[in-house]
Amino acid sequence: MPSDENYVKNTPSYGSLGLIPLKSCEELGKRIDEYLVKWRANRDTETYDEVLRQGYKLDSYIVEANVPRFGTGEAKGTLAQSIRGLDLFIMVDVTNYSLTYSLCGHTNHMSPDDHYSDMKRIIAAVGGKARRITVIIPFLYESRQHRRTSRESLDCALALQELVAMGVTNIITFDAHDPRVQNAIPLSGFETVQPSYQFVKGILNNVDDIKIDPDHLMIISPDEGATDRAVYLAGVLGVDMGMFYKRRDYSKVVDGRNPIVAHEFLGSSVEGKDVFIVDDMISSGESMIDVATELKKRKAARIFLISTFGLFTNGLEKFDKAYEEGLIYRLVTTNLTYQTPDLLEREYYINCDMSKYIALIVDTLNHDCSISDLLNPYDRIRNLVKSYNSRK
């Protein structure tokens, strides 16, 4: 019995499933498709009528879509098959800079704007013929520009409203920088998913001597914005939590942000304890390494850097050096964004595969069932920890 049966409860699907992973999400989309094919091949559909059974068990649910470009860099979205009546799930990784295209004879790396525009082109190619469109954007487009503090654009809110205006029913993202951005589309579906279970599973599968109790483990938030993530993980693991406050110099702007003057720590002693530093993204990595340095000054034991999105905009050299110096023990991120081959080869790196989790979400939504149990992995994490402790 596949592990997804408890979620779909043998409920007929909303419509024939179609999965469109754009090139930026191609590898992740193939893994998701494999799970869906395997689960549905073994599923009893005798209670479904003939119309529902047609197209339910396929060799693949991926709909071929392409975005060819002209020499000027302009593009168009094309579909290789009919999508009429399908329950479509379109996936895009807006941070995948590895893809390139020719622009007037020059090689141009694709930016988040390019990926977002390509997704809109595919939605436009659908032309309203799909029964429903759900967009999966793991790293929410322009999510760091989620609020207005002066005379400036409000890009994330505008993008969400634009997608809804184009006919998108549901938007699925992961660990949104600020979930309150969903207020821009209050009457539409918006889910921000936390990969807490995958983090814990990835660490416990790769490290066999962690003691999960208040005397040996502590969860740390690197700033006030990541507090909710740290509080949840500390609560489910039953350990203590601390946080750092970034004191910034608001009289200066360096690389588009106010420079950090100092990291002030709030919490109990970390001396001799393993530490999980949890955040939504690692951009340059400077902030996370600064926090790790401060924790080492306070005599913390092993330090795990945990983040949903590993962007590594300034490369991996800082992390290599921090690992060699014993500053960090493990680096943990997901495959929701582009991962370089160099990153996957690092001995200190733990990759958390999200394909099965996304496949469960897609399958459950396609059956028009609630995903609330999937969004709260409290029981699954507790059972995982119990099983890990029993192996010792």
| pLDDT of residue 235 exceeding 90 | yes
- Tell me if 166 sits within 8 A of 349, measured CB to CB: no
Interval 274-301: pLDDT, tens = 999 999 999 988 889 989 999 999 999 9
Helix (H, G, I), strand (E, B), or coil: what is residue 254? strand
CA nearest 138: which of 25, 282, 31?
Answer: 25
Pairing state between β 303-310 and 274-282:
parallel
pLDDT at site 261:
74
For the residues 331-347, what does the mean pLDDT come to?
96
Interval 130-184: pLDDT, tens = 999 999 999 999 998 888 878 889 999 999 999 999 999 999 999 998 899 999 9
pLDDT at site 55:
79
Q: In this structure, what are the phi and psi dihedrals at residue 157, rounded to the nearest 5 degrees?
A: -60, -40
For the residues 325-346, what does the mean pLDDT come to?
96
| pLDDT of residue 212 exceeding 90 | yes
pLDDT at site 286:
87
375 token code pair: 């969004």
230 token code pair: 């740290």
pLDDT at site 360:
95
pLDDT at site 2:
43
- Tell me if 142 sits within 8 A of 184, measured CB to CB: no
Interval 63-95: pLDDT, tens = 999 999 999 999 999 999 999 999 999 999 999
pLDDT at site 131:
95
Helix (H, G, I), strand (E, B), or coil: what is residue 375? helix
User: Can you give the pTM of this predicted structure?
Assistant: 0.92
State how far the Cα of 233 lies from the Cα of 241, in Å rounded to an integer.
9
Interval 34-54: pLDDT, tens = 999 999 988 877 767 665 677
CA nearest 3: which of 57, 39, 56?
Answer: 39
Say how far residue 179 (Cα) sits from the centre of its chain: 13
Give the percent of the chain with pLDDT over 90.
75
Cα 49 to Cα 32, 38, 56: the distances in Å are: 26, 21, 11
49 token code pair: 């009528």
State how far the Cα of 133 lies from the Cα of 323, in Å rounded to an integer.
44
> How is the beta sheet containing 170-174 ordered, strand by strand?
17-21, 87-91, 132-137, 170-174, 189-193
| pLDDT of residue 4 exceeding 60 | no
Q: What is the mean pLDDT of the chain?
A: 91
Q: Which residues pair with 252 in a beta bridge?
A: none
State how far the Cα of 76 lies from the Cα of 19, in Å rounded to an integer.
19
- Tell me if 365 sits within 8 A of 242, measured CB to CB: no
Cα 174 to Cα 137, 222, 336, 354: the distances in Å are: 8, 19, 8, 10
pLDDT at site 49:
61
Cα 247 to Cα 149, 264, 279: the distances in Å are: 18, 7, 17
